[in-house]
Amino acid sequence: MSSELKLSGRYFSFYVNMQSALDTKSKIMLLADKENLTINKELDMNTISPNSNIRLRNFTAAFPGKYIQGDNTLAELPEYIQRLGKKGLVIASSTAISKIIPQYKLNELPDLLIVERFRGECCEREIERMSDIIKTEGIDVVVGMGGGKAIDTAKIAADRIGLPVIIVPTIASTDAPCSGCAVIYSESGIFESVYYQKLNPQIVLVDLNVITNSPVRFLVAGMGDALATWFEARSCQRTQSQNECGGLSTMTGLNLAKLCYDTLLRFGTTARIANENKIIIPALHHIVEANILLSGIGFESSGLAAAHSIHNGLTALSETHSFYHGEKVAFGVLTGLNLTDAAPDEIDEVYSFCEEIGLPTTLADIGLENISRERLLEAAVKTCVPTDVIHHEAGVITPEKVLSAMIAADAMGRKRKFRDSIARKADKESN
């Protein structure tokens, strides 16, 4: 076989069918050749993204070494540090230092661990500072405790020196804790690059007592991030796009992504109530697991698509900066459903979920109440940069199509809100 093949959609279908009929030896030969396989941009089958220069690879999945979730699990942190080494550095957010560390008396174990306050930005300077502390203090286990940036700093510092890392998320607002990637920013907070670690974190330790005492908006934003997982995984599987650990989606990734979505629909509302009342009930357990573990494995092992690209595009508009990652991702999901011709019943289901738990369904909900089409187009253009994951969707994705889908998602969200307000008013009058 040649090292590079350009295939039409029809032939690609044939290739896939042929592969499944081959014996094991032939499959290995084909897999080896896949590395150099590129797909013709003229494809018109709806399962391949024509803008992508797709390189097919192995089926790949990534997981944290151990995931522990429970009530007061932080009391076990010293034991886990001792399992992996002799002395830990806890890189902790300000909230963790003022509330969580004293609560669990983690500041009273100077021989086992030292605590260092995270200065707020996951930038080269902060990573270097932590690396220096690791070297001078003889640290052999790193712990990241806090929100996304404290966690990412711990992951990168540990990976560069080759030490194990324990991740302790104090909020359930994203699916980053379990993953093997982290984002580096400039000192002023501008995105610079994604850093891929050699391995995922050795231990992820989630304390429900800490999570339920954090603001509800974090848990809801985490559900917005987790909401994208199934739809993006499904798109990547349909188009055979690359996942976030450099391979093709596994059955494991895809099915955990589906379980993530089903869990959100079943337990999202009850979990929100639990968080509002600062209590721990099974529904909260299920949603925290969905937000952190299922979504984490789901996105990394199955891939990202429209929702995250639309999130990235929306960051071009400064009005959205005060909104959380998962909130913008949720609007990205609604836009993506309109973009990809999802079934009306499914669209209705997702809107109802977002309305029920308090995720954005309109542009006004993410700070873009009076946005002009021209400025919204800026976000759509950024969404469609050739390197972004929106090209994992089927068909040719253009800024104009994304703009139309954003306007459609917003109009639908506004119409539903209007309908609900009329219904509430009628209810009130009849009572």
Q: How far apart are the first and last CA of the chain?
A: 75
Q: Rounded CA gap, 274 and 32, in Å?
A: 50
Give the contact letters, 16-55, x = binds to Zn ion (CB under 5 A), - = no.
----------------------------------------
**Which residues share a beta bridge with 113?**
88
Active-site residue, 392 included: no
CB under 5 A: which stretch of 14-22, 209-217, 224-232, 388-396 binds Zn ion?
A: 224-232
Residues with Cβ within 8 Å of 98's Cβ and at least 6 positions away in sequence, in order, are none
Q: Which residue lies nearer to Zn ion by CB, 223 or 380? A: 223
Question: Shortest gap between Cβ of 228 and Zn ion (angstroms)?
Answer: 7
Active-site residue, 311 included: yes
Q: Which residue lies nearer to Zn ion by CB, 126 or 225? A: 225
Q: What angle do CA 116, 122, 124 make, to 5 degrees?
A: 95
* Cα 279 to Cα 91, 221, 265, 287, 365, distances in angstroms: 27, 19, 20, 13, 28
The footprint of Zn ion on residues 235-264 (CB under 5 A) is: none
CB under 5 A: which stretch of 49-57, 223-231, 243-251, 399-407 binds Zn ion?
A: 223-231
225 binds Zn ion (CB under 5 A): yes
Closest to 74 measured CA to CA, from 39, 37, 115: 115
The footprint of Zn ion on residues 150-179 (CB under 5 A) is: none
Question: Shortest gap between Cβ of 225 and Zn ion (angstroms)?
Answer: 4
Active-site residue, 152 included: no
CB under 5 A: which stretch of 75-83, 119-127, 220-228, 245-253 binds Zn ion?
A: 220-228
Q: Which residue lies nearer to Zn ion by CB, 74 or 172? A: 172
Question: Shortest gap between Cβ of 257 and Zn ion (angstroms)?
Answer: 13
Q: Rounded CA gap, 319 and 306, in Å?
A: 21
Position closest to Zn ion via CB: 225
Q: Which residue lies nearer to Zn ion by CB, 74 or 304? A: 304
CB under 5 A: which stretch of 79-87, 218-226, 285-293, 407-415 binds Zn ion?
A: 218-226
Question: Shortest gap between Cβ of 224 and Zn ion (angstroms)?
Answer: 9
Question: Shortest gap between Cβ of 231 and Zn ion (angstroms)?
Answer: 12
The catalytically annotated residue of 286, 325, 391, 392 is 325
Q: Which residue lies nearer to Zn ion by CB, 179 or 240? A: 179
Q: Which residue lies nearer to Zn ion by CB, 225 or 365? A: 225
CB under 5 A: which stretch of 108-116, 135-143, 217-225, 279-287 binds Zn ion?
A: 217-225
Closest to 178 measured CA to CA, from 88, 299, 259: 299
The catalytically annotated residue of 311, 388, 392, 410 is 311
The catalytically annotated residue of 152, 175, 225, 410 is 225
Q: Which residue lies nearer to Zn ion by CB, 131 or 291? A: 291
Q: Rounded CA gap, 384 and 226, in Å?
A: 22
Q: Rounded CA gap, 295 and 217, in Å?
A: 18
> Which parts of this chain interact with Zn ion (CB under 5 A)?
225
Q: Which residues are catalytic?
A: 225, 308, 311, 325
